[in-house]
Amino acid sequence: MAGGGIPIVKRILGPFVILLILLLCSSLSAAGDLRLTVHSAILMDMTTGRILFTHNADDPLPPASITKVLSLYLADEAVRDGKVRPTDPVKISRKAGRTGGSKMFIQAGSEIPLEELLKGMAVVSANDASVAVAEYIGGNVEGFVERMNRKAHELGMSRSVFKNPNGLPARGQFTTARDMMILASDYLRRFPESLDLHSQQYYTYHDITQRNRNSLLRHYPNADGLKTGWVVKAGYHIVATAKRGNTRLIAVVMGAKTPAIRARETEKLLDEGFRMVRADPRQG
């Protein structure tokens, strides 16, 4: 009787087992078929910590302005630890005022609240503000950069070296998509309120209004961060995040040839990630 029941159980369970296996295989392997026209990329479901996709994720590249995620991390940490206050006036040095590239056009000799400088860094990628913040929190840029590398080591960013607080080109400065994923996930866990800044599409300082270069904020549903970057030697980068329901994804894309390609491939990656999460029977 018992032995005769085994084939019946197999016939009943067989289709369900096969369906379960197919669902698992499709959710686990579909991203492996994804092809991106960028140098490197990685995608993580921050809710579970599961890596959904990698492509050359450990290849080192100059970080450009996604470096500012680490600088903002240290600034938020200093505020949380009570070492500085958001309302602290920061005296702008000649070095900060003369810093080129993306900027909020701060004037040497002026005093600007720390929180305004942090907005400039997060929203319009202000290199001048990054130097001013580094000098204020670290005592000088060199001291702040030492803290950056120490924090990167603590977080396990084993393939990264930083030479300045803003990502302007510097010999020997590099990071990887995986290391930036490690940084971004810890940053968002520790400082979720930072998205209030990163999600702002515009920032105005002294009657100069500039737009956030993260185009996903305008075109991709539920995107609310995080940081873009560009340098001639490496191309266009982004650390992007979006949340749907209870799922937050983080995508890092590095080395796109144009801003349009960066946006397109990042959206493609996020779309695939949300599809995978929906298809995974282990979710929910």
Q: What angle do CA 246, 58, 69 make, to 5 degrees?
A: 55
Given a contact cutoff of 8 angstroms between Cβ atoms, the answer to whether 149 and 175 are in contact is no
pLDDT in tens, 189-205: 999 999 999 999 999 99
Separation between Cα atoms, residue 194 and residue 123, nearest integer Å: 11
**Which residues of the chain are under the pLDDT cut of 70?**
1-32, 281-284
Q: In sequence order, what are the residues at sequence separation of 6 or more whose Cβ sits closer than 8 angstroms to the Cβ of residue 269?
A: 34, 36, 41, 43, 53, 251, 253
Residue-level pLDDT at 5: 46
| pLDDT tens-digit series, residues 114-140 | 999 999 999 999 999 999 999 999 999
Give the span between the Cα atoms of 241 and 223, in whole angstroms: 6
Residues annotated as part of the active site: 65, 68, 125
CB 84 within 8 A of CB 137: yes
Q: Which CATH superfamily is domain 34-279 in?
A: DD-peptidase/beta-lactamase superfamily (3.40.710.10)
pLDDT at 279: 87
pLDDT for 33: 78
Count other Cβ atoms within 10 Å, centred on residue 275: 15
Sequence-distant (≥ 6) Cβ neighbours of residue 131 within 8 angstroms = 93, 95, 96, 99, 141, 165, 166
In terms of Cβ atoms closer than 10 Å to its own Cβ (0-12, 13-18, 19+), residue 123 is buried
pLDDT given for residue 32 in this prediction: 55
C-alpha span between 244 and 94 (Å, rounded): 44
